Chains A and B, each alone.
Chain A
Amino acid sequence: MSNSNKQKADVKSLKILIVDDNEQITKMLSTFLELKDQECTVANDGKEGLDIIKENRHDVVLLDLAMPEFDGYAVIKDLEENNMLKDRKIIVFTASTITQDELDGLVDRGVHSYILKPIDIDVLLSKIIKAANS
């Protein structure tokens, strides 16, 4: 199997959840991912996202940190308390001003990795695939 075919096979198998209160981003990102043959689910608030994460198995979860009411930190805290954080591949996807120490702290707690906005869309996809296959 060629590399491009292998990547396509990996891509097809992915179920991705996007948790972000920015509806523009979730709409456009899900359209982009679906164009790339991904199965995409969207939650526009943390509480809804948390329920979906708990009830379903996604290959990757893209989680925004700054959301009103129930933010990304609250989602991480809840998953951590329920021993589910390390069990799910959570990628923090944020535009927040956050220090490297804070990001490393999140990874130490069990978050898979982080992606800072803005990011090139192809790089984003490759990071998602990499995370899903890790």
Chain B
Amino acid sequence: MTVTETIEEDMFQSDNPITELNRMLVRYDMTRNQSKVYLFLSKVGIKTASEVSKALKIPRTETYHLLSTLQQKGIIFSIFGKPTKFNSVGMEESLEILVNNEKNRISELEMGKDSLIKLWKIIPKYSGNDNEEQNNKFQSLQGRNSILVKLEQMIKESKENILVLGTEIDFKRFYFTEFAELLNKTKSDLKILLDHSGDMPSIFEDIPPKKIKKIDDKNREDFCFIIKDDSEVIFFISNKQVNDMLAVWTDSKTFVTTLRSLFSLMWKKSHYVQETSAESLLGSEITYEHRLREIEQEKIILNYLKENFQLLDSNVGVKK
């Protein structure tokens, strides 16, 4: 066995950057095997279908199919000859092609949306049950993408308030997505409760600190949820056994109200991220002078009440 063949065989066998790349490329609408073939050609160079099949231990018929699909995607090309050989387009160009393919697919879906809705409206409703339960819907969401789609929808549709509670680790999963940007742009009243340590860059670093408070409760269980307009909530289900993210969306009034109350309680006893410890001690947003003036006002009213109640008491005494 030659050195090259050994490298080729080891490419996908051990924990190396290629394995990680392979996993990441799947996000760009590629299957595991398509990604394997692409990475193999991009690192090893020109090869025949048979050589690819042998090196990657993929059946020959499937290899032909994979090569054909990758050619259609535009990220590998064939070199005329007998037998036909294949090579890949550079990684940067390939990623751009894949992203553009996805963009085109989304714009096609967008364009087709109106026609679909028109067609849907033509078809009469066969069920006569108009009294369908409007609330209490539960939807299970599995995987980052399906959760993200729902979250983005909630943020975009929000008109009143968005309440976010969780840890940095929970939300780190949404790096490189529009999640934080959408939150930043929202015109709704935004409140974020976070276990922000300040030691590492936060996904919410562009959001004004006046909208973020630190969770003080160190003993809390790991829970994470996002409430929209006091009417919908997504709560995340922590499951260390499963790698994929799990969440449940619901518009159940009971659930939303319960989590809303929990959020309000925690918000009330938490402090803003940029608050000094002196400010924390005195209470958020309120300065020392402010407190003094309030106390002075209390004193004035109290003195008045004291004098008047004394008068009342003495009057009662006289009557007796």
List A residues at the B interface (Cβ < 8 Å): 22, 24-25, 28-29, 31-32, 35, 66, 68-71, 74, 95-97, 116-121
Contacts of A22 in B (CB 8 A): 294, 298
Task: Give the shortest distance, in Å, between A126 (CB) and chain B (any CB).
Answer: 14
Alpha-carbon distance between A106 and B119 when the two chains are bound, in angstroms: 53
Complex interface: chain A residues within 8 A of B297 (CB): 25, 95, 117-119
Interface of A is mostly: loop
Partner of B302 from the list A28, A68, A116, A117 (CB cut-off 8 Å) is: A28
Q: A24-B298, A28-B298 are in contact. Are A121 and B304 (CB under 8 A)?
A: yes
Pairwise interchain contact A66-B296, C-beta atoms closer than 8 A: no
Q: Identify the interface centre among A25, A95, A121: most chain B CB within 10 Å of its CB.
A: A95
Select from chain A the residue with minimum beta-carbon distance to B308: A35
Interface SS majority for chain B:
helix
Q: Does the CB pair B284–A97 fall under 8 Å?
A: no
Q: Known: A31-B305, A66-B286. Contact between A121 and B294, CB under 8 A?
A: no
Residues of A within 8 A of B38 (CB): none
Judged by a CB distance under 8 angstroms, whether B169 is at the interface is no
For A33, the closest partner residue in chain B by CB is B301
B304 with A95: CB separation less than 8 A: no
- List of A residues within 8 angstroms of B301 by Cβ: 25, 28-29, 32, 121
Interface centre among B286, B290, B294 (most CB of A within 10 A): B294
CB neighbors of A among B270-320 (8 A): 284-287, 289-291, 293-294, 296-302, 304-305, 308
Contacts of A118 in B (CB 8 A): 293, 296-297, 299-300
For residue B189, give the distance in angstroms from its CB to the closest CB of chain A: 8
Give how many B residues have a beta carbon under 8 Å from the other chain's beta carbons. 24
Which residues on A sit within 8 Å (CB–CB) of B290?
A: 66, 95-97
User: Which of chain B's residues have a CB closer than 8 A to the CB of A120?
Assistant: 300
**Contact residues in B for A28 (Cβ distance below 8 Å):** 298, 301-302, 305
- A69 with B305: CB separation less than 8 A: no
If A96-B290, A117-B294, A118-B300 are given as contacts, then 16 extra A-B residue pairs at C-beta distance below 8 Å, sorted by A number, are: A25-B301, A28-B298, A28-B305, A32-B301, A68-B267, A68-B268, A69-B267, A69-B268, A71-B285, A95-B290, A95-B291, A95-B294, A97-B289, A117-B296, A118-B296, A121-B304
Q: Which 3 A-B residue pairings sit nearest by Cβ, starting from the closest?
A: A95-B293, A118-B296, A118-B297
Select from chain A the residue with minimum beta-carbon distance to B296. Answer: A118
Q: In the complex, what distance in Å separates the CA atom of A32 from the CA atom of B286?
A: 25
Supposing A22-B294, A31-B305, A97-B290 touch, asked if A121 and B284 sit within 8 A by C-beta, the answer is no
A117 pairs with B308, CB closer than 8 A: no
Distance from B298 Cβ to chain A, minimum over Cβ atoms (Å): 5
- Enumerate B169-194 residues with CB–CB distance to A below 8 Å: 189, 191
Closest partner residue, chain B, to A117 (CB atom): B297
Q: Is B139 an interface residue when CB atoms closer than 8 A count as contact?
A: no
User: Is there an interface contact between B294 and A97, defined as CB atoms closer than 8 Å?
Assistant: no
| Alpha-carbon separation in the docked complex, A121 to B298 (Å) | 10
> Is B264 at the interface (CB under 8 A from chain A)?
yes
Distance (whole angstroms) from the CB of A44 to the closest CB of chain B: 12
Shortest beta-carbon distance from A131 to chain B in Å: 18
User: In the complex, what distance in Å separates the CA atom of A71 from the CA atom of B210?
Assistant: 13
Closest to A120 in B: B300
Nearest chain B residue, comparing its CB with the CB of A74: B189
In the complex the two chains form, what is the Cα distance from A28 to B287 in whole Å? 22
Least Cβ–Cβ distance between B53 and chain A, in angstroms:
64
